[in-house]
């Protein structure tokens, strides 16, 4: 008798679903978690300087001289400007697949220094590739297996993703597309 009630409920539910025309749930980028906290540009720029000081085994110094010497920029104000541009570029997820968005967000969480723009496409591309290598190593995997397991992306997908992100983080000029095309030919 108990089984008859279950069958009846299932049949009734199926009838309701077919009558109302419910369709399968479609997942898209709107299903991704939204970033909840964004540091100010100045705080992010300070963190970049702190990170660079640690990397270079130098004492933290928030000065134009330090920024000029270790970050190849003229001043802390320029770093803040480029950081603002970088934050805008890293926040722009338009045209990205769900897998690319997830990978991009993980990269941003791990690598604060990627949040500023540069005028050197090849340098930014290498920085992104090195960051991806480091993420794969943290999982004790090679890049190819890491991409497939955690992001369901092929190596070719990821190479295209890195090129696209490097272009976004390279200061916009006529040279950028020429640099990108030149490095692809090599």
Q: Is-contact 115 83, C-beta < 8 A?
A: yes
Q: What is the dihedral of CA 56, 62, 68, 72, to 10 degrees?
A: 60
What are the C-alpha distances in Å from 64 to residues 7, 9, 28, 170, 176?
74, 72, 44, 22, 26
Structural domain boundaries of the chain? 37-91, 95-186
Percent of all residues in the chain with a pLDDT value above 70, rounded to a whole number:
67
The residue-averaged pLDDT of 68-92 equals: 82
Give the CA count within 13 Å in the CB-facing half-sphere of 21.
0
Cα 78 to Cα 60: distance, rounded to the nearest angstrom: 18
State the pLDDT confidence band at 99, using cuts at 50, 70 and 90: confident
What pLDDT was estimated at residue 160?
92
| Per-residue model confidence (pLDDT) at position 140 | 94
Q: How far apart are CA 136 and CA 158, in angstroms?
A: 13
Q: What is the mean pLDDT of residues 99-114?
A: 77
Distance from C-alpha of 80 to C-alpha of 63, rounded to nearest angstrom: 12
Q: Quick check: 12 pLDDT over 70? A: no
The helix or strand, by DSSP H or E, that contains position 113, with its residue range, turns out to be none
- Mean pLDDT along residues 155-173: 83
């Amino acid at each position: 008798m108990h089984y008859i009630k279950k069958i009846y409920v299932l049949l009734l539910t199926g009838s309701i679903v077919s009558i109302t025309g419910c369709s399968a749930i479609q997942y898209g980028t709107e299903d991704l978690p939204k970033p909840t906290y964004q540091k100010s540009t100045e705080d992010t720029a300070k963190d970049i300087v702190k990170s660079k000081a640690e990397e270079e085994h130098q004492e933290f110094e928030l000065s134009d001289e330090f920024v000029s010497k270790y970050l190849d920029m003229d001043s802390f104000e320029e770093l803040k400007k480029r950081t603002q541009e970088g934050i805008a570029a890293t926040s722009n997820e338009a045209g990205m697949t769900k897998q690319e968005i997830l990978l991009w967000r993980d990269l941003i969480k791990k690598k604060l220094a990627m949040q500023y723009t540069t005028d050197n496409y090849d340098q930014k591309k290498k920085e992104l590739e090195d960051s991806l290598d480091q993420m794969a190593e943290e999982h004790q995997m090679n890049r190819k297996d890491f991409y497939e397991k955690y992001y369901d992306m092929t190596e070719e997908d990821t190479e295209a993703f890195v090129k696209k992100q490097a272009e976004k983080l390279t200061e916009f000029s006529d040279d950028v597309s020429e640099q990108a095309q030149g490095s692809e030919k090599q």
